DNA sequence: CCTATCGGAGTATAAAGCTG
DNA sequence: AGCTTTATACTCCGATAGGT
């Protein structure tokens, strides 16, 4: 029945319309165009972690994780990495850009987690359909089964099942589980601006901030990431330095049209435009000399660095779609017998899946390149005495 | 096109194991 | 004791057969 199907579909795939970047999905910032001379950078390289000026300013109870302070800098909620760790978030490519060699492409935004009722009614359970907490449930009402809409009886869990020794997951100092690699994955909250904040930002012409405020990588993104420090962008090619910012915070000319493929991070004068660096950050003064590999990254198209719109379905989806169903005959007996997973030949799937996923992520990825970086990683990091950043190495 | 059916992925959570 | 890990029990997505 279509209405039912539609309902369940909408409940599960609450994804936004095509085209417009959905909320909470990455929307990558670019420096504003300048006099027609500025070429947008290529996909961002992995970024260094940087110190967190004031994590206390993040109010976890604020709606959508919005900062409780007015226009608190977006990065305030990013936790500092453990010593020796590096956050990195290789950005997705713009159309026409190859993703940096060796790095897997970004994953599509994940589906929202499915929410289950505690107990489905007998009718819904037997139909394998979504139920709700009400009795009679919506579906039973719709199908005229209200009288028979009752909770089923939950089987008691088996006791006394012995298990092998547990495999402890690695944990870092903060107690958060790691994935067994030496790069941590942290996902800062998605900030959405309040109207007031947005207005304030618009007035300040802080486009960069606006964009950053909603950027966030997909949940399933295979890389750890961190937002770049305020004002940091990929470095220009060899021998080309960003000039100091223009007078009164005006953006400087950008002399080079092409960026290297794996540029260093570089304090960019745009970062200080039009206002001062955010709370806690020292002023950005001048640009260190960038080192970079050859500037082979032909300046690719345009400014449209878009969120990852990897159209392909998730692997699990694909797998599930691919499965061929052997239709059973409609038969009540068969129905009740179908779900006995006791005696499942290969053991529970859920467990195997999760372990396999972690393992696979570690072993089967191509080796990403290393990224040239500034040893200081910029004035901001130095000023905060943050952990010495390290280049993203091939251990993902 | 609509509905019923149902395999199996995904989720919730109880129980076992571990650790301070 | 409290936390973590594992595995069971269950929900319900989504593909598809069959009916109208």
C-alpha span between A375 and A291 (Å, rounded): 10
User: Are A371 and A377 spatial neighbours (Cβ–Cβ below 8 Å)?
Assistant: no
Chain B bases closer than 7 angstroms to a protein Cβ? 1-19
Q: Write the pLDDT tens digit of every residue in A312-371.
A: 323 333 333 333 333 333 333 333 333 433 333 222 333 323 322 233 333 333 333 333
Question: A211 preceded by cis ω (within 30°)?
Answer: no
Distance of alpha carbon A84 from its chain centroid, rounded? 22
Q: What is the mean pLDDT of residues A236-257?
A: 40
Comparing A202 with A350, which gets the higher pLDDT? A202
Confidence bin at A304 (pLDDT 50/70/90): very low
User: Strand B within 7 Å of which CB atoms in A 291-330?
Assistant: 314, 316-317, 319-320, 323, 325-330
The reported pLDDT for the residue numbered A371 is 31
Residue located via tokens 């206002």: A275
The reported pLDDT for the residue numbered A129 is 92
What are the b/e assignments for A221-231, b being 16+ CB within 10 Å?
Answer: bbbbbbbbbbb
Comparing A28 with A384, which gets the higher pLDDT? A28
Comparing A193 with A255, which gets the higher pLDDT? A193
What are the b/e assignments for A88-104, b being 16+ CB within 10 Å?
Answer: bbbbbbbeebeebeebb
Is any atom of strand B within 7 angstroms of residue A2's beta carbon? yes
Q: What is the mean pLDDT of residues A224-250?
A: 40
Asked if the model's pLDDT at residue A68 lies above 50, the reply is no
C-alpha span between A382 and A289 (Å, rounded): 16
C-alpha span between A142 and A135 (Å, rounded): 12
Per cent of chain A over pLDDT 90 is 2
Q: Other CB atoms closer than 10 Å to residue A159's CB: what's the count?
A: 5
Which nt sits closest to A163, CA to C1'?
B16
Beta carbons within 8 Å of A125's beta carbon, 6+ residues apart: A131, A152
Q: State chain A's maximal CA–CA distance in angstroms.
A: 81
For the residues of A299-340, what is the DSSP string, one character each?
A: --S-S--PPP---SPPHHHHHHHHPPP-PPPP-HHHHHHHT-
Interatomic separation, CA of residue A327 and C1' of nucleotide B7, rounded (Å): 9
Of A86-90, A215-219, A287-291, A335-339, the range with the lowest mean pLDDT is A287-291
Q: Which of A169, A210, A155, A168 is nearest to A32 (CA)?
A: A210
User: Strand B within 7 Å of which CB atoms in A 74-113?
Assistant: 113
User: Are A66 and A282 spatial neighbours (Cβ–Cβ below 8 Å)?
Assistant: no
Q: Write the pLDDT tens digit of every residue in A149-184.
A: 888 888 888 888 888 888 876 554 444 444 333 333
* CA closest to B5 C1', residue: A330
The reported pLDDT for the residue numbered A161 is 85
The reported pLDDT for the residue numbered A34 is 44
Is any atom of strand B within 7 angstroms of residue A351's beta carbon? no
Interatomic separation, CA of residue A179 and C1' of nucleotide B14, rounded (Å): 26
Mean pLDDT of chain A: 43
Interatomic separation, CA of residue A42 and C1' of nucleotide C13, rounded (Å): 39
The reported pLDDT for the residue numbered A287 is 33
C-alpha span between A174 and A186 (Å, rounded): 12
Interatomic separation, CA of residue A196 and C1' of nucleotide C4, rounded (Å): 43
Q: What is the mean pLDDT of residues A32-41?
A: 42
């Amino acid at each position: 029945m279509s209405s039912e199907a539609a309902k369940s579909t909408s409940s599960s795939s609450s994804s936004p319309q095509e085209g417009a970047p959905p909320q909470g999905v990455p929307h990558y910032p670019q420096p504003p165009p300048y006099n027609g001379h500025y070429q947008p950078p290529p996909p961002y390289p992995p970024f260094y972690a940087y110190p967190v000026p004031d994590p206390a300013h993040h109010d976890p109870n604020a709606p959508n994780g919005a900062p409780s302070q007015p226009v608190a800098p977006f990065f305030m909620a990013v936790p500092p990495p453990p010593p020796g760790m590096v956050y990195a978030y290789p950005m997705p490519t713009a159309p026409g850009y190859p993703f940096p060699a060796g790095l897997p492409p970004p994953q599509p935004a994940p589906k929202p987690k499915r929410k289950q009722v505690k107990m489905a009614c007998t009718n819904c359970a037997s139909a394998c359909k979504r139920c709700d907490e009400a009795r009679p449930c919506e579906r039973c009402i719709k199908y005229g089964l209200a009288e028979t809409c009752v909770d089923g009886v939950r089987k008691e869990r088996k006791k006394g099942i012995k298990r092998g020794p547990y495999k402890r997951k690695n944990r870092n100092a903060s107690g958060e589980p790691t994935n067994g690699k030496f790069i941590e994955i942290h996902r800062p909250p998605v900030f959405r601006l309040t109207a007031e904040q947005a207005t304030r930002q618009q007035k300040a012409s802080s486009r960069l901030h606006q964009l950053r405020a909603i950027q966030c990588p997909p949940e399933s993104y295979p890389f750890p990431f961190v937002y770049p420090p305020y004002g940091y962008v990929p470095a220009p090619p060899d021998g080309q330095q960003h000039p100091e910012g223009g007078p009164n915070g005006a953006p400087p000319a950008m002399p080079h049209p092409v960026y290297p493929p794996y540029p260093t991070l570089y304090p960019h004068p745009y970062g200080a435009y039009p206002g001062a660096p955010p709370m806690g950050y020292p002023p950005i003064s001048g640009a260190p000399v960038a080192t970079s590999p050859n500037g082979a990254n032909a300046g690719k198209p345009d400014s449209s660095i878009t969120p990852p719109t990897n159209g392909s379905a998730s692997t699990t989806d694909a797998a599930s779609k691919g499965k061929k169903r052997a239709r059973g005959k409609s038969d009540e007996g068969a129905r009740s017998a179908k779900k006995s997973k006791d005696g499942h030949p290969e053991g529970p799937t859920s467990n195997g899946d999760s372990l396999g996923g972690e393992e696979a992520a570690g072993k089967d990825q191509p080796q990403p390149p290393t990224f040239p970086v500034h040893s200081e990683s910029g004035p901001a990091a130095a000023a905060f005495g943050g952990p010495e950043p390290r280049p993203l190495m091939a251990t993902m």
